[in-house]
């Protein structure tokens, strides 16, 4: 499972780098066209916005993989052994709960967006909103894979 998650993490990071590059180039071209030639193309702004939304939610999944989400850092310096494992377990359970909400509500939001279309591109809004349940599902898998490690650490008092 760990190798699978690592491979997925690498793929998502490459996608994120591509999206960030696309956003950077797209916004730069838009600014140059607008201020140098008084030209504007709305579909570029919309495409950059959709890419940004994908970056946010895919980045949330990567952050979950590397335990970069919500935590009480001040406590982690003072906790060790079972207490630290309890803290990580509670944090991961909170993230898991949030990810379940993201999956369920993101799916509902995506279904509602199927028949709505973006004004400039004319594409279905399911494309930019589909990343919400996708990110929630990734976060669920990532967090569920970590829970047994926390439980073993609570039971034994040390990393195994």
Report the 10 Å Cβ neighbour count for 115.
Answer: 9
pLDDT of residue 55: 95
Rg from Cα positions in the chain: 20
What tens-digit pLDDT sequence spans the chain (160 residues)? 788 888 988 999 999 999 999 999 989 999 998 889 888 887 888 899 999 999 999 999 999 888 877 665 666 667 777 877 888 888 899 999 999 999 999 999 999 999 999 888 889 999 999 999 999 999 999 999 999 888 888 888 765 5
Determine phi and psi for 109, rounding to 5 degrees: -65, -40
């Amino acid at each position: 499972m760990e190798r699978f998650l690592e491979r997925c993490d690498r793929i998502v990071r490459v996608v994120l780098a591509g999206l960030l590059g696309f956003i950077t180039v797209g916004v730069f071209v838009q600014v140059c066209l607008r201020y140098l030639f008084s030209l504007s193309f709305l579909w570029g702004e919309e495409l950059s916005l959709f890419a940004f939304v994908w970056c946010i939610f895919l980045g949330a999944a990567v952050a979950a993989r590397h335990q970069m989400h919500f935590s009480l850092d001040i406590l982690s310096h003072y906790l060790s052994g079972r207490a630290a494992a309890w803290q990580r377990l509670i944090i991961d359970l909170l993230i898991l709960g949030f990810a379940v909400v993201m999956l369920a509500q993101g799916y509902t939001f995506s279904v509602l967006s199927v028949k709505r279309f973006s004004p400039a591109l004319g594409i279905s809004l399911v494309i930019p909103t589909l990343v919400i349940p996708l990110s929630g599902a990734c976060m669920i898998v990532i967090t569920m894979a970590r829970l047994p490690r926390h439980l073993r650490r609570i039971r034994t008092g040390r990393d195994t």
